[in-house]
Amino acid sequence: MYPPDRRLARRARRTLSSTLDIVLETGVDGLKLHPLHIVKHTLLAHQWRKGEYLPLSKTGYIDMAANLIERTPANIVYHRVTATASRDVLLAPARAAVPGSPLLARN
């Protein structure tokens, strides 16, 4: 798989920040974060197998989530900051198949 493009990472961070701003402007009381899961029988699974898509690393996801949480007003509740998927459909990231606290699970 190719190494992450730093320009793409900066653009993604700006997009996430812009999206957070738009969501906060709607007047929400709570938010949920959900990492992208690569699941079987999808176009993304095909791209991942060919090395055309590289999911965020655990550190990358934590950095992204922390940035969003830090930018969120204290009165907004985060109901979830990660999620799991069934092992029988999940291809990546492997940490998403760990029950309980996958973000904190050891690799």
Tokens 């459909």 -> residue = 89
Helices and strands per DSSP (H, E), number in the chain: 3, 4
Q: Which of the listed ranges 7-16, 69-78, 82-91 does the model predict with the highest average pLDDT? A: 69-78
CB atoms within 10 A of CB 21: 10
Select from 70, 76, 71 the least CA-distant residue to 18. Answer: 71
pTM for the whole structure: 0.79
- Cβ neighbours of residue 74 closer than 8 Å, sequence gap 6 or more: none
CB 53 within 8 A of CB 44: yes
pLDDT of residue 105 exceeding 80: no
Q: What is the pLDDT of residue 56?
A: 86
Classified as helix, coil or strand, 36 is coil
Instruction: Provide, rounded to the nearest whole percent, the portion of the chain with pLDDT above 90.
Output: 50
CB atoms within 10 A of CB 95: 21
